[in-house]
Amino acid sequence: MLDQFEKLGTDALDALKKVKDHASLEDFRIRFLSRKGLLQEMLSQVGKCPSDIKPRAGQLANKIKKQIIDAFEQAKQQLQQQGAKPADLPDVTLPGIPVIAGKTHIINQTINELLEIFGRMGFGVAYGPEVEDEQHNFIALNIPPEHPARDPLDNFYITDNMLLRSQTSTIQIRVMEKQKPPIRIVAPGRVYRPDTVDATHMFMFHQLEALVVDEGVTMVDMKTTIDQFIHAFFGPGTKWRFRPSFFPFTEPSAEVDLLMADKDGKENWVEMGGCGMVDPNVFDAVGIDSEKYTGWAFGFGIERLAMRKYSIPDIRLLFENDLRFLKQF
């Protein structure tokens, strides 16, 4: 055993004499001085020696350890004095390695652009919780218990009274509960509906809600605002229209359609979202005098806006995190 210790010390010192650069010095360190190196292995053998030679073995092992470490440090110092270039340092004369910077996701880009457009028109921004109660998600929005929109199969209920909000109209209710007219806000956010996922539907998507409440507000104000928004977002030549519709929380109500060209150049009317004058029952639910104030609201799907503007054929592309797709925006 002691002879093996002596041989290890001799082999290590001989190996150090052959070290000529930092790379070979690092190889030596790994071989002899690392946690799994030969020196550590020798020290672990001391405890296995017979009791009669264990003291001598311990003294010899410590002596050899000191000799190897001292010789290693001396060789390292000599290389540094000689100005030898470490093999692991980069060549500063080579071109730099480009840093790949992240980008804002296309959905967030669209939200930021929408908020900037409505900010120029004097709208504030409001946010609300994604977990809502039935009072804010349905009752205050004039959606009665028998309405099909309240079917448990069409909502993500958490408890009997709590659910993931199905529309950002809930933020309108919360704003009107706390703030009296005049009100002029937009409300972006995620909404949840258990739709079957396909090219145009997801169970989670984003909406942008707008609400204006004041004395003398009419549908002319709403139409003017939507017209300015569409031309600012899609371009001044964009054609659009109102189509009569029905929503429990607005009366009268309308759908907003855009005239868009498909990949073959054929133009079609494409639905963007709903709008209308705020129903007096909604004002009554939040304590606003419906005889004194009127208001309008709209709700547009943000994914739908982005898909139409950038000719994205499938909503699933927005959520698949494919860099080949995301880098285009």
Average pLDDT of the residues of the chain: 89
Alpha helices in 212-265 (DSSP H): 219-234
Q: Retrieve residue 325's tokens.
A: 């797709």
pLDDT at position 84: 47
- Indicate the domain borders of the chain: 2-81, 106-326
Residue 86 — pLDDT band, cuts 50, 70, 90? low
Query: What digits encode the pLDDT tens for the residues 129-152?
Result: 999 999 999 999 999 988 988 998
Predicted confidence (pLDDT) at residue 240 exceeds the cutoff of 90:
yes
Torsion of Cα atoms, 168 then 254 then 186 then 166, to 10°: 0
Q: 198-202, 236-240, 265-269: which range is least confident on average?
A: 265-269
DSSP code for 314: -
8-21 b/e with 16+ CB inside 10 Å = b?
bbeebeebbeebee
Contact 296, 249 (CB under 8 A): no
In 10-153, beta strands by DSSP E:
124-125, 131-133
Query: What digits encode the pLDDT tens for the residues 34-51?
Result: 888 888 888 888 777 787
Q: 83-87, 167-171, 269-273: which range is least confident on average?
A: 83-87
Can you tell me the mean pLDDT for 84-104?
75
Cα separations (Å) of 158 from 52, 133, 169?
A: 74, 10, 19
Tell how many helices (H) and how many strands (E) occur in the chain.
11, 9
Helix (H, G, I), strand (E, B) or coil at 64: helix
Query: What digits encode the pLDDT tens for the residues 179-197?
Result: 999 999 999 999 999 999 9
pTM value > 0.75: no
Contact 286, 253 (CB under 8 A): no
Can you tell me the mean pLDDT for 53-68?
83
Cα separations (Å) of 7 from 29, 32, 234?
A: 18, 13, 82
Predicted confidence (pLDDT) at residue 57 exceeds the cutoff of 70:
yes
CA distance 127 to 89: 51
Nearest to 186 by CA among 232, 250, 125, 109: 125
Percent share of the chain, pLDDT over 70:
97
Amino acid code (one letter) for 145: P
188 prior amide bond cis, ω within 30 = no
The domain 106-326 is classified under which CATH number: 3.40.920.10, 3.30.930.10, 1.10.510.10, 3.40.190.10? Answer: 3.30.930.10
Classify burial at 320, counting beta carbons within 10 Å of its beta carbon; exposed 0-12, middle 13-18, buried 19 or more.
exposed
Residue 223 — pLDDT band, cuts 50, 70, 90? very high
Cα separations (Å) of 76 from 19, 38, 67, 318?
A: 9, 19, 14, 55
